[in-house]
Amino acid sequence: MLNGIRIIEFEALGPAPFAGMLLADLGAEVIAVHRKTASNTPGKAAQNLLDRGKRSIALDLKTPEDLAVAKALMATADGVTEGLRPGVMERLGLGPEQAMSLNPALVYGRMTGWGQSGPRALQAGHDLNYLGLTGALFYAGLPGETPAVPPTMLGDIGAGALYLAVGMLSGILNARFTGKGCVVDAAIVDGASHMMALLLSMGQQFSTTQRGASLLDGPHWSRCYTCADGRHVSLQCLEPKFYAQFLDRMGLADDPGLKDQFDQSQWPDQIGRLTQIFLQKPRDHWTALFHESDACLGPVLSPHEAQHDPHITARNIWDQGAPMPAPRFDGQMHAPGPIPERDSDGPAIRKELQKKGLL
């Protein structure tokens, strides 16, 4: 889908290279500019899953020769992405102003946690800190318990990488029409706050002052339960018709203590009741009991187990321990490109730039 689009990705952690992998999976030519280290010898360097489908060149941006290569790459690109603290690329002579002087249509994507401005812009931080400051972490965990630590996917990927990718594509579309590039300020605090619009759209069903009092983080029918074997099931039968199916499968359809689904005063007792019931049988018993049911109950699988689940395998979501590209177009899945060794494309990329008269 993105054939013909070239992205130059300067090496960073987490969300920036994930966004690059996503764009590469969708067909863009993504050139990863890796740091030049002793491990950059082709054939010996470690491979990183987030580099799949990309080309790799290793540069020391503090040397005039390699800095010239970086600038030449920028001149040929539709977009650039970087994930360093504000000001670092400017000090290298590769900030947006310098880059756009070489390529006015360039879309310059900046991936950070705090953003390019604000009191915390130059501070260190991680996924959990960004989610905590935005209010998103408020809903993680159960009533009376310390907020849980969500997978780093929520902030780094959901609120970060995906917003960077959307921003890059939007900027490139606009540049195709106007000939003018832009700077994409993709901050995890922005993305996390924006994603909360879904919860806020539900109005009074989501409390903004009390943990565990909202529609999805307090009820007995919206949580995970421990089973007899120490493994877990997930339950979230929000709609009354699905809740009715859940009670029926559990043999609890006539239980007066579980009849009222939305009475918050009964939730603690109902939670206690279900907790004891689920502890009586192993996870796979409950999974089998709800097979082909709309009761919205399923197993909590480990990543290894997930790769062998019948639904996951039927859709070929995993291949040799790695997830396949998403989304699909016209129902078809496209195979990802290979994972390059660091600097394996360096000589070829330099020759290409020389042929274009840029080096």
Active-site residues: which are they? 126, 156
CB of 214 within 8 A of CB of 223? no
| Cis peptide bond N-terminal to 327, omega within 30 | yes
| Closest of 107, 113, 109, 82 to residue 9, by C-alpha | 82
Q: Strands (DSSP E) along 172-306, which ranges?
A: 182-187, 222-226, 232-236, 297-299
| Residue located via tokens 């603290």 | 85
| Closest of 59, 75, 80, 68 to residue 8, by C-alpha | 80
CB of 137 within 8 A of CB of 195? no
Instruction: Give the single-character DSSP code of 29.
Output: E
Measured CA to CA in angstroms, residue 267 lies from 139, 205, 214, 218, 295 at distances of 17, 15, 12, 7, 18
